Amino acid sequence: MRFSQLFVNTLKDAPKDAVLKSHQYLMRGGFIQQVGSGIYNFLPLGKKLLDKVRYIIKEEMDKTGAQEILMGFVTPADLWRESGRYEKYGRELLRFVDRKDNEFVLGPTHEEVVTFIAKNGVKSYKQLPIHLYQIHTKFRDEVRPRFGLMRGREFIMKDGYSFHSSFEDLDREFDVMEQTYKKILERIGVDFKIVEADSGAIGGSGSKEFMVLAPCGEDTIVVCKNCEYGANVEIGSRALRVSPRPNELRYDKNPPKAEFARFYTPNIKSIESLSEFFKVDRFYLLKAVVKKAIRANGSFELVYGFVRGDDEIEETKLLNTINRVDSSFLSLEDAELEEMTQVGLEAGFIGPYGLGHITQSQYIYFDESLREAQGLICGANEKDYHFVGVDLDTFENLNFVDIAKAQEGDLCPKCQGELYYTKGIEVGHIFKLGTKYSHAMNAQFLDKDGKIQDLIMGCYGFGVSRILPAILEQKSDELGCVWGKEVKLFDLAIIISNVKDNTQNEFATKIYEECKARGIDVLLDDRDERFGVKMKDFELLGFSFALIVGKGLNDGRVELIKRKGLEKFELQCDENTLENLLGILGRNS
């Protein structure tokens, strides 16, 4: 490829709304072009990178026996009604009608469509397992599309779906996919962490996310200093807490000694003021959190979570907990003061005594770390009063569940090592779906004994377009793009310093032709531009190497620059130039 023929416009400045470096470089490098909020065109260089990602994914997926298909981007709403997700998916699902008033959605994910395929194609256990995948456009009407390709509305995903006759076989495939994603990310060339994850609106029993580690990542992951444990903070757990975190300790680390009593605490409503009032560490205070759980139809229930005073509620865990009772809840919001007053609660003084009786709520939960907790201080459900000397083990039928956020300094649930936080960009997510979709949509098979069973499913998503900004967030430098191992932009760019110089032109063109013949993905920068402009483009676009054919040629020398780290190599111009050049590229890529 000759640069003079390449369709690319590089820009000096990025658009104002581009805050992340990946977004700035993708726009300045002319890889992509925005056409609407969260909607992008891929221009030739962007498409070239995307194709590299697709190629790696296809190669690794096909090796496992998965088969590539292409499903309709537009999906009849009826399929989504069958699964029950038409209402439940919320406003990210773009719904529309055709000229005959038939209803459709733009696929944000394809469980429904693929289940329809399996329902019509699978009859017997003998056909199983089957794994079908596609690399295709998705649409999600995200509330805040941002950061360019990182969170688009229209984006490209690889989504795979597997069908099994037993849960053991699903587990096997899930492990195969974990290994496959690992391989894909290693080939792409990024540092990543595999973490336990929430299954969200897609549902199912177990899931793992693949996080590219980068400070701008929108996900917080909790990781053990000592072992492999890692989880999205949304579901991350921890070992049972038995004492306050040493670095947060305010008062005595031992439980306060007090007989059970009702105590006058005028206007002491917050955990901070309560801790100061009694000179007791927050660990021994019972924090009550009241949330509004909202259904798709807009109705809501108040739900109650108790955690230790130095802990926080993790909303995802609380939402999952109540959805196990009634799966119609979509989200949680803070309850308004008025809403609490209406059910007879004294905000600031809420406690467990008589709470079920006052509120009639079936959604009252205590965090695991409160199991057998003694010497606590809690609200008395009466204005200006708290109870001291509270032992939760004297209560009957309390619901203890893991609803608190695992924090830095807490201990690992696997090995008791110390936990810390880091940031990740979610580029992949794999799920064990079980029979959720097949059951709802009647996708069944005949088992060995001739009995009808629901198909057992797994699903496996990978953010094909998101991986490009993820690579850049991790690898790029202050000059521009640095790409990954196999996802890269040209192996070599040959830059002719002065195109009006015949010797430079002839030498560069000869090397260019030879490289092409040797299968090197090579670009000849033959533009009639200043040398500085060409170098800036090399740095901004991130070609793997640049061979500078300039004045040094008169002394029989050319210079090779590796984009990553800008390492320089000098080459003599003789009969071995090409071999030496290829040798350096081979050893250093």
Chain contacts with Mg ion (rule: CB under 5 A) = 429
Q: Is 463 in the site for ligand ATP (CB under 6 A)?
A: yes
The nearer residue to ligand ATP, 370 or 425, going by C-beta atoms, is 425
Nearer to ligand ATP, 20 or 274 (CB): 20
Contact with ligand ATP (CB under 6 A): which of 71, 335, 406, 427? 427
Judged by CB under 6 A, which of 61, 93, 122, 157 binds ligand ATP? 157
User: What is the 3-class SS of 166-192, one letter each residue?
Assistant: CHHHHHHHHHHHHHHHHHHHHHHCCCE
Residue 309 binds ligand ATP (CB under 6 A): no
Half-sphere exposure of 58 (CA within 13 A, CB side): 12
Say if residue 532 is exposed, middle or buried (CB neighbours under 10 Å; 0-12, 13-18, 19+): exposed
Q: Minimal distance in Å, beta carbon 70 to ligand ATP?
A: 17
> Would you count residue 424 as binding ligand ATP (CB under 6 A)?
no
| Contact code string over 378-397 relative to ligand ATP, x by CB under 6 A | --------------------
Find the part of the chain contacting ligand ATP (CB under 6 A) among 165-173, 188-196, 286-294, 460-468: 460-468
The only residue of 429, 432, 436, 475 in contact with ligand ATP, by rule CB under 6 A: 429
Are 310 and 245 in contact by the 8 Å Cβ rule? The answer is yes
In this structure, the strands spanning 492-496 and 545-549 are: parallel
- The distance of closest approach from Cβ of residue 198 to Mg ion in the complex, given in angstroms and rounded to an integer, is 8
Smallest distance, Mg ion to C-beta of residue 90, A: 15
By beta-carbon proximity to ligand ATP, the closer residue of 351 and 469 is: 469
In sequence order, the 6+-apart residues with CB closer than 8 A to the CB of 410 are 238, 239, 241, 245, 419
Q: Does 466 bind ligand ATP (CB under 6 A)?
A: yes
Judge whether 211 and 217 are in contact, CB under 8 Å.
yes
Minimum distance of Mg ion from residue 77's CB (angstroms): 23
**Comparison of 155 and 363: residue with beta carbon closer to ligand ATP:** 155
Helix (H) or strand (E) holding 475: helix 467-475
- Interaction between residue 104 and ligand ATP (CB under 6 A): no
Cis upstream peptide for 244 (omega within 30°): no
Q: Could you tell which of Mg ion, ligand ATP, none binds residue 157, using a CB distance below 5 to 8 A set by kind?
A: ligand ATP
* C-beta nearest to ligand ATP: residue: 463
Q: Rank residues 29 and 152 by Cβ distance to ligand ATP and give the closer one.
A: 152
Using CB positions, name the residue nearest to Mg ion: 429
418 neighbors 225 (Cβ within 8 angstroms) = yes
Instruction: Report the distance separating Cα 107 and Cα 521, nearest Å.
Output: 36
- Report how far residue 251's alpha carbon sits from residue 519's, in angstroms, rounded to the nearest whole number: 70
Kindly tell me which of 466 and 475 has the beta carbon lying closer to ligand ATP.
Answer: 466
Counting Cβ atoms within 10 Å, is residue 264 exposed (0-12), middle (13-18) or buried (19+)?
Answer: exposed
The residue from 21, 52, 110, 151 that contacts ligand ATP (CB under 6 A) is: 151
Closest listed residue to residue 161, CA positions, set 153, 172, 179, 173: 173
Task: By CB under 6 A, tell whether 428 contacts ligand ATP.
Answer: yes
Residue 79 partner contact from Mg ion, ligand ATP, none using kind-dependent CB cut-offs of 5 to 8 Å: none
Of positions 155, 161, 278, 366, contacts ligand ATP by CB under 6 A: 155
Least Å distance, CB 256 to ligand ATP, is: 42
Instruction: State in angstroms the smallest separation of the CB of 349 from ligand ATP.
Output: 37
Residues binding ligand ATP: number (CB under 6 A): 17
| Nearest distance, CB of residue 461 and ligand ATP, angstroms | 3
Q: Is 177 in the site for ligand ATP (CB under 6 A)?
A: no
DSSP, collapsed to helix, strand or coil, labels residue 385 as: strand
Contact 322, 303 (CB under 8 A): yes
461 touching ligand ATP, by CB under 6 A: yes
Is residue 203 at the binding interface for ligand ATP, with CB under 6 A as the rule?
A: no
The dihedral region occupied by 84, where left means phi > 0, alpha psi between -120 and 50, and beta the remainder, is left
Nearest-approach distance from CB 429 to Mg ion, in angstroms: 4
Give the tokens for residue 237: 């757990």
Q: Is 133 in the site for ligand ATP (CB under 6 A)?
A: no
* Contact in structure between 110 and 460 (CB atoms under 8 Å): no
Q: How far is the C-alpha of 197 from the C-alpha of 510, rounded, in Å? A: 53
Binder of ligand ATP out of 46, 107, 152, 352 (CB under 6 A): 152
CB-count exposure of residue 327 (10 Å: 0-12, 13-18, 19+): exposed
142 binds ligand ATP (CB under 6 A): yes
One DSSP character per residue, 246-304 reads: GGG--S-SSPPP--SEEEE-TT--SHHHHHHHHT--GGGBEEEEEEEEEETTS-EEEEE
Q: Using the rule CB under 6 A, which residue among 85, 140, 287, 436 binds ligand ATP? A: 140
Binding region for ligand ATP (CB under 6 A)? 109, 140, 142, 151-152, 155, 157, 200, 202, 426-429, 461, 463, 465-466
